[in-house]
């Protein structure tokens, strides 16, 4: 029988590898791997949100991410506008440029 929690953790490790799919979000002085949601063209601001990133639950907790947290990705500063738990081991961070 497959232990899906172990398989899921293994799969997330590969997806959140910055040598594969992830980019680094810097929060404070620490870098965390995040996945940028697919952009189709220029970012469009909806309710102040311009980008969506996915971040592992453990990293959200370790970094203390909450509404208003500042982060930098690719030299661009953002502020977290909302977090949504996915129940799949990661959270959706909706951000706007700071």
Q: Identify which has the larger pLDDT, 79 or 12.
A: 79
Cβ–Cβ < 8 Å for 47, 77: no
Please report the pLDDT score of residue 87 as a whole number: 81
Please report the pLDDT score of residue 32 as a whole number: 97
Cα gap 94→98, rounded to integer Å: 13
Q: Which domains does the chain have, with CATH numbers?
A: 4-97 (2.40.10)
* Model confidence at 30: pLDDT above 80: yes
Q: Identify which has the larger pLDDT, 64 or 46.
A: 64
Please report the pLDDT score of residue 12 as a whole number: 75
Residues 6-25 have pLDDT tens digits of: 445 567 777 888 988 899 99
């Amino acid at each position: 029988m497959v232990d899906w929690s172990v398989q899921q953790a293994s799969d997330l490790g590969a997806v959140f590898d910055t040598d594969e799919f992830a980019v680094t979000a810097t929060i404070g002085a620490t870098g965390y791997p995040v996945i940028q949601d697919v952009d189709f063209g220029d970012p469009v601001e909806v309710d102040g949100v311009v980008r969506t990133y996915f971040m592992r639950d453990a990293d959200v907790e370790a970094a203390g991410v909450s509404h208003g947290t500042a982060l930098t990705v690719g030299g661009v500063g953002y502020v977290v506008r909302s977090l949504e738990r996915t129940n799949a081991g990661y959270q959706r961070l909706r951000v706007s440029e700071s």
